[in-house]
Structure formats: C-alpha cells, structure tokens
C-alpha cells in the first residue's frame, strides 16, 4: 500500500497511544507488522491488554487513513515518523512523544537553537512590549522560535519573528486542514514560507480543549528553552512551563507587578523556582550561552554610540532606560526641555538607532542599548 499507510493507520487507533505504539512496533518490527501479526502472538506482548488487542483493526481505520494520505499528497505536507531521521531529534528522547507528525514548512526542526515563546491570550501593553523586545533581541543569534499560534503572546511572537526574519514554527492543536483561530490564517500561510506548521493531529480534528495540553507538550519537548511572557496562574503557558520542568528544559519567565493577574503565573513560576527570572533578551542569551560574535560586535557598536551622546541626549536615554515605553509628554516632563528641542533630539536619537518611536508618540530604547 501507499507509503506510511500503516504508520498513519496505527496512529488512528483510539486505544493505542504513543507508548503502546512504540511497544507494539518494537515487538512486531514495523507498523505493518502490528496489523499482520497473529492475535495469539500479540497477546504475549507484556503490557498489552485484551481491550487494546480488540481495537487493533486495519479495516476500522482504512477509509480515514486513505483520506489523510490524499490530503497530505494534495497539500505538500511532510510525514515525520519517530523511527526516521526527519523526525525532530529532541522529541525522540521522550517515550510519550507523538509517533507521527504532520509538517508543512521549510524550517529545520532539528535547528541547533530552539526557544518556545508562550504566554496569555489576553496580552496587555506590557506583554506586547516585552514580546516584541525579546524577539528583536534574539534576531542576531540564529534561533528558531516555536509557539502555539494562539491569540495573544503566541500570535505576536510568530508575527514579530517573521518581521525580524527569524524562522518560526507553530505547533497546532488540530489538523492542518484547519487554522485556529481563523484570524491567523494569513499569518499561518506566511509561516509556511518563513518556518512552518506542525501537528500530531490528522484532518477533521477539531480544536477541542483536550488537544491543547498535548500540543503544549510538543512545544516544550521541541525547545531547548521556554520563555513565558505573561500568564495568569492557570493556562496553557503554565502547562508548557510545567512540561518544560518535567523534561528538564531551561524555563524562564518575565516578572510582572504583584497586583497584575496577567503576570501572576509568571511570578509564581519564579517564586517556586520553576522558572528563572528574565530581565530581557540579553539576559536570556547569556544564560543560554547563545551570544554570537556578530551580536557582540553590534552591541558594542551601539554602546560606543551612546557614549558619544550630548548631556541632553543622555538625559533622554536615562529616562527611557527606566521604562518599557514612555509617551513624549512624560519625557518632556522628566527632562525639562522645550517641546521643539525635545522633538529634534528624539528625531536625532532615532536616526542614530538609539531609540525607536512607537504608535501614539511613545518611545523605547532599542533592545541592544
């Protein structure tokens, strides 16, 4: 039959999960062997119960498998099987990783540096600023960014990665025949050109809530490090962080105000030593020892540029250094310069690459300062 027919068929059996699949294949030699082995031989495999045996039926999943293969061939989708080299090497370390994955994209899933950037769906202005600054700050370090294509932090991490020409992969909680949320369809199309989409779920799988913890596990297993931007005490990003700890990944979290519910999960991860406190992208890169020579040269260049500032320019930089972002009116209040002089200095600093203007007349320091 068609390539991967038996591997996909085995994944369609509802009572056979990744651990059981590995056990069956190890005894039978292949996925095809599982379906062709005699019942009396299967009964002798330790840990395989009568109910599981009663569910191993090729006929029951043939139609579903053929539809899956037809969709795969029509949409340029790659099949990643756990016994083959194309399968993400980091996932091979865990017996409960999916045995088969569906992938559409061009990113190397065995990239030497992978970071998962996750957080709340209800992102705040603080979360937006932190996410953007983090992604911008790692652009020179040759890192693959992984997230879950959900609303909020995930979406922004993917979008900002594309903007910064960083490859990014979205791990889905449903099949590749669907994009959830629908508003991210255009973004998902862009990601297949600048990264990819990955899922353990076949077509016609709805984005049901029980699928997302499984998705979060794959996100955690694929990454070398997990960065939680913003999160309440409960949520998908906390689940991803918990998996990260379980699988001995480096977990980081940005702190927030103690009265802010959106940062309560991050603060709790830090308080309970389940995540290292993260101050910014440089802090992250230093912890991971991922700082490249190219980045060091650029960083030193910008620092040298700052040393050449006039007293008035230095006072502006000093104000911005204490804030995530700040409105021009607040800068005017703090530095006590006339509006005309301040506007001219801000424009000069922006041209020199020291600061950036955001929508609404807000300003931030460039992340390398």
Instruction: Kindly state the tokens that stand for 311.
Output: 């007293």
What gap in Å lies between CA 293 and CA 303, rounded to an integer? 15
**CATH of span 114-288:** 3.40.50.450
For the chain, the domains span: 1-74, 114-288, 293-365
What gap in Å lies between CA 259 and CA 64, rounded to an integer? 50
For residue 21, give the nearest of 111, 78, 253, 12 by alpha carbon: 12
What gap in Å lies between CA 219 and CA 333, rounded to an integer? 45
Peptide bond into 181 cis (omega under 30): yes
CA 9 from chain centre, in angstroms, equals 29
Secondary structure of 273-341 in HEC code, one letter for each residue: CCCEECCCHHHHHHHHCCCCHHHHHHHHHHHHHHHCCCHHHHHHHHHHHCCCCEEHHHHHHHHCCCHHH
Q: Which CATH class is domain 1-74?
A: mainly alpha
For the segment(s) 293-365, the CATH number from 3.30.428.10, 1.10.10.10, 3.40.630.30, 1.10.1510.10 is 1.10.10.10
pLDDT tens, residue order, the chain (369 aa): 458 999 999 999 988 999 999 999 999 999 999 999 998 899 899 888 888 888 899 999 999 999 999 999 999 999 999 999 999 999 998 989 999 999 999 999 999 999 999 999 999 999 999 999 999 999 999 999 999 999 999 999 999 999 999 999 999 999 999 999 999 999 999 999 999 999 999 999 999 999 999 999 999 999 999 999 999 999 999 999 999 999 999 999 999 999 999 999 999 999 999 999 999 999 999 889 897 555 454 454 445 455 568 888 888 988 888 777 788 988 988 888 888 889 889 988 887 778 888 877 888 887 543
What gap in Å lies between CA 170 and CA 314, rounded to an integer? 41
């Amino acid at each position: 039959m068609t390539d991967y027919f038996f591997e996909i068929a085995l994944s369609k059996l509802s009572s056979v999960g990744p651990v059981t699949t590995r056990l069956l294949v190890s005894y039978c030699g292949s996925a095809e062997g599982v379906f062709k082995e005699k019942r009396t031989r299967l009964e002798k495999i330790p840990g395989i119960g009568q109910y599981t045996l009663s569910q191993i039926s090729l006929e029951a999943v043939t139609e579903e498998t053929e539809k899956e293969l037809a969709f795969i061939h029509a949409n340029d989708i790659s099949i990643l099987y756990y016994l083959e080299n194309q399968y993400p090497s980091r996932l091979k370390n865990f017996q409960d990783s999916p045995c088969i994955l569906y992938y559409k994209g061009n990113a190397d899933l065995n990239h030497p540096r992978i970071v998962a950037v996750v957080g709340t769906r209800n992102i705040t202005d603080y979360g937006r600023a932190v996410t953007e600054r983090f992604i911008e700050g790692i652009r020179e370090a040759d890192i693959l960014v992984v997230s879950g294509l959900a609303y909020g932090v995930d979406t922004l991490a993917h979008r900002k990665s594309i903007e910064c020409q960083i490859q990014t992969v979205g791990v889905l909680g449903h099949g590749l025949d669907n994009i959830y949320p629908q508003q991210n369809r255009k973004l998902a199309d862009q990601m297949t050109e600048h990264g990819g989409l990955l899922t353990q779920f076949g077509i016609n799988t709805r984005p049901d809530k029980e699928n997302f913890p499984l998705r979060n596990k794959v996100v955690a297993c694929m990454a070398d490090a997990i960065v939680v931007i913003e999160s309440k005490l409960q949520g998908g990003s906390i689940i991803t962080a918990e998996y990260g700890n379980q699988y001995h990944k480096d977990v980081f979290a940005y702190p927030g105000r103690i009265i802010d519910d959106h940062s309560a999960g991050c603060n709790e991860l830090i308080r309970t030593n389940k995540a290292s406190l993260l101050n910014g992208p440089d802090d992250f890169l230093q912890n991971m020892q991922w700082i490249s020579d190219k980045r060091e040269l650029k960083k030193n260049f910008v620092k040298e540029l700052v040393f050449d500032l006039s007293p008035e320019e230095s006072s502006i930089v000093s104000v911005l250094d204490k804030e995530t972002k700040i409105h021009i009116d607040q800068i005017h209040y703090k530095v006590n310069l006339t509006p005309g002089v301040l506007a001219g200095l801000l424009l000069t600093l922006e041209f020199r690459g020291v600061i950036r203007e955001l929508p609404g007349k807000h300003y931030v320091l460039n992340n390398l300062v």
